[in-house]
Amino acid sequence: MAVYDNKMTNNSTASNSTVDVVLIGAGIMSATLGVMLKELQPNFTIELFERLDVIAAESSAPMNNAGTGHSAFCELNYTPQLPDGSIEIKKAIKIAEQFETSKEFWAYLVEKGHLGNPQNFIRKVPHMSFVWGEKNVEYLKKRREALVKHHLFKGMEYSEDREQIKKWIPLVMEGRDADEKVSATFMDIGTDVNFGSLTSALIGEMNKKPGVTVNLNHEVNDLKRNADGSWKVVVKDKSTGTKRKLNARFVFVGAGGGALHLLQKSGIEESKGFGGFPVSGQWLVCNNPDIVKQHEAKVYGKASVGSPPMSVPHLDTRMIDGKRALLFGPYAGFSTRFLKQGSLLDLFTSIKLNNILPLLAVGRDNWPLTKYLIQQVMQSPADRLNALKDYMPNAKAEDWDLDIAGQRVQVIKKDAKHTGVLEFGTEVVSSADGSISALLGASPGASTSVPIMIQLIERCFKNHIKTDSWQQKLKQMIPSYGESLANNEALSEATRARTSEILGLA
Ligand SMILES: Cc1cc2nc3c(=O)[nH]c(=O)nc-3n(C[C@H](O)[C@H](O)[C@H](O)COP(=O)(O)OP(=O)(O)OC[C@H]3O[C@@H](n4cnc5c(N)ncnc54)[C@H](O)[C@@H]3O)c2cc1C
């Protein structure tokens, strides 16, 4: 991870009291938005504030997320089975399309020489789903039949043949009960993404541009609307304790788990009723290089009944800073912190008069989640090993160490019917005038950072985006902009072929 001087860089914005854009947080979301805005409007002045002394140390850090380039090739929670037995693939198509858009933007930056070697942040790793038991095998077969008809999922292989599956994933098949019915799908063009490296490369690039200042060790403590509609941002330099106020025409709260508190401080009407529910994660990390090298896939299974979507277990090949790794998880945990390096009071201080009813309603209606979390928290090392053995029957405790993953804050929001609902996706909350926007939630997260930020730009920079220069630039950055990769097979195939070539995935 790149480390920047925590003092402001000596450029034009440092002494100004008003900037065009303040970005809060040095994760993948702020990094993506900052680079996009600077491409679209090179004369924008931008200040980024990060409370930690490094870039991408919360959810975007490689060990804090699973590094899956979510394309819905392997994640079974994106393709639910409907009561009539058919498989719903709408969400899968949307996610696959969104990831193609992300790759388009990364390819544009790689071609311009802005991100260095793409192998530092993206690699081809097959995406597989693996299930056992009659009912699940039937489900996976139907899922593949439904998906493979769509061009975004062309080439997805399916097998119930144990020998074939063993060729794909020997560790998953060795030691498995010979009578157990199993099946798997295999998608060769899956990816593993180091979102930490990508974030560092993006912020490094942004920081080279005139008018950009990256401030590490600076915590944003308050946000107040000025009479002219701009924002007063109060920032504390954590190394000196001094406070500084600056004005921003636009603020992006890309503070991950810290976003809810800042959104609440902004007092915008649109923030009312939002709450957060933290779920922490853990991985088992393989410490035996002989085992690590025998597995070459991201293998996603089926979440157990009643458990939340982000708990889907997976056995994952990862490339982290040039080193190959093998992880299994996530196991869920409970902490009242909203950031891994946050405060134990985070959950309690987020409770306000305007969100208490939605919070209580979610507590009332989500007993299966509560039960699941209690079970997870109570797990012994033997329980965790048993969960791993479902995917790798010959696993031995001594080959695996427990590590802490990132902290997710699931979004709770007002709902007319249920008073409050728990969401597992991401939510962009913007003020009506588009002067402030915050990103809440975590899934499918970093993989969709590019389309999410495009939508945010469309919402908050309404006048700019109509101009020819922004439209032309958007088309350069994302050649499929304004068209549908989901509906246009020829465009989708040409786009995928082009980005694969540039990103070294061909
Ligand atoms: C266990 C787990 C697995 C995941 N797996 C995947 C996956 O496989 N694929 C995928 O695409 N996504 C995955 N995600 C989601 C993905 O990691 C997130 O969506 C993404 O990293 C969020 O980026 P961000 O920039 O919003 O937040 P972050 O990366 O968390 O960055 C927010 C930054 O804001 C800073 N900050 C907070 N408060 C303040 C403040 N007041 N002032 C200044 N700075 C502040 C924080 O220190 C932090 O650096 C996973 C997440 C988790 C937790």
Ligand 1 atom with the shortest distance to the CA of 67 = 8
Residues of the chain scoring pLDDT < 50: 1-16
Ligand 1 atom with the shortest distance to the CA of 406 = 53
Q: Please count the other Cβ atoms lying within 10 Å of the Cβ belonging to residue 25.
A: 30
Residue 329: is it exposed, middle or buried by C-beta count within 10 angstroms (0-12/13-18/19+)? buried
Using CA positions, which residue lies closest to atom 27 of ligand 1? Answer: 256
pLDDT attached to residue 15? 44
How many CA atoms does the CB half-sphere of 195 hold within 13 Å? 31
Choice from 60, 202, 408 to test ligand 1 binding pocket (greatest atom count within 8 A of CB): 60
Using CA positions, which residue lies closest to atom 51 of ligand 1? Answer: 65
| Pocket lined around ligand 1, Cβ cut-off 6 Å | 24-30, 49-52, 56-60, 64-68, 70, 195, 219-220, 254-256, 258, 262, 281, 330, 339, 405-406, 408, 439, 442, 444-447
174: left (phi over 0), alpha (psi -120 to 50) or beta: beta
pLDDT attached to residue 2? 36
* CA–centroid distance, residue 158 to ligand 1 (Å): 34
Task: Return the closest-CA partner of residue 71 out of 158, 31, 129.
Answer: 129
Q: The tokens of 131 are what?
A: 């299930």
CB 450 within 8 A of CB 458: no
* CA–centroid distance, residue 423 to ligand 1 (Å): 17
Choice from 29, 59, 328 to test ligand 1 binding pocket (greatest atom count within 8 A of CB): 59
Ligand 1 atom with the shortest distance to the CA of 220 = 42
Q: Please give the full DSSP string across 419-448, using - where no structure is assigned.
A: EEEEE-SEEEEE-TTSSEEEEEE-SSGGGG
Q: Please give the full DSSP string across 8-53, using - where no structure is assigned.
A: PPSSTTTT-SEEEEEEE--SHHHHHHHHHHHHH-TT--EEEEESSS
* CA–centroid distance, residue 277 to ligand 1 (Å): 15
* CA–centroid distance, residue 80 to ligand 1 (Å): 26
* CA–centroid distance, residue 440 to ligand 1 (Å): 10
Task: Return the closest-CA partner of residue 329 out of 306, 310, 316, 313.
Answer: 313
- Eight-state DSSP code of residue 311: G
* CA–centroid distance, residue 402 to ligand 1 (Å): 21
* CA–centroid distance, residue 173 to ligand 1 (Å): 34
User: Distance between CA atoms of 72 and 78, rounded to whole angstroms?
Assistant: 6
Question: Buried b / exposed e across 420-443, counting CB within 10 Å, b at 16+?
Answer: bbbbbebebbbbeebbbbbbbbbb
* CA–centroid distance, residue 404 to ligand 1 (Å): 14
Using CA positions, which residue lies closest to atom 52 of ligand 1? Answer: 65
pLDDT attached to residue 309? 65
Domains parsed from the chain with CATH numbers: 14-503 (3.50.50.60)
User: pLDDT tens digit string along 350-409?
Assistant: 999 899 998 888 888 877 777 777 778 788 899 999 999 999 999 999 999 999 998 889
The total number of residues shown for the chain amounts to 506
pLDDT attached to residue 424? 77
* CA–centroid distance, residue 383 to ligand 1 (Å): 28
* CA–centroid distance, residue 338 to ligand 1 (Å): 11
Q: Is 247 helix (H, G, I), strand (E, B) or coil?
A: strand
Rg (CA), the chain: 23
The pTM of this model reads 0.93
Q: What percentage of residues in the chain have a pLDDT greater than 90?
A: 80
User: pLDDT tens digit string along 112-162?
Assistant: 999 999 999 999 999 999 999 999 999 999 999 999 999 999 999 999 999
Ligand 1 atom with the shortest distance to the CA of 447 = 11
CB 190 within 8 A of CB 71: yes
pLDDT attached to residue 442? 73
Q: Is 456 helix (H, G, I), strand (E, B) or coil?
A: helix
Residue 364: is it exposed, middle or buried by C-beta count within 10 angstroms (0-12/13-18/19+)? exposed
* CA–centroid distance, residue 27 to ligand 1 (Å): 6
Ligand 1 atom with the shortest distance to the CA of 330 = 1
User: Distance between CA atoms of 201 and 195, rounded to whole angstroms?
Assistant: 10
Q: How far is CA 348 from the centre of its chain?
A: 25
* CA–centroid distance, residue 467 to ligand 1 (Å): 32
Using CA positions, which residue lies closest to atom 21 of ligand 1? Answer: 60
User: Distance between CA atoms of 337 and 200, rounded to whole angstroms?
Assistant: 25
- Eight-state DSSP code of residue 376: H
Choice from 32, 36, 58 to test ligand 1 binding pocket (greatest atom count within 8 A of CB): 58
Using CA positions, which residue lies closest to atom 15 of ligand 1? Answer: 445
User: Distance between CA atoms of 60 and 198, rounded to whole angstroms?
Assistant: 9
User: Distance between CA atoms of 260 and 246, rounded to whole angstroms?
Assistant: 21
Quick one: CA dihedral 432, 435, 438, 444, positive or negative? positive
Ligand 1 atom with the shortest distance to the CA of 281 = 1
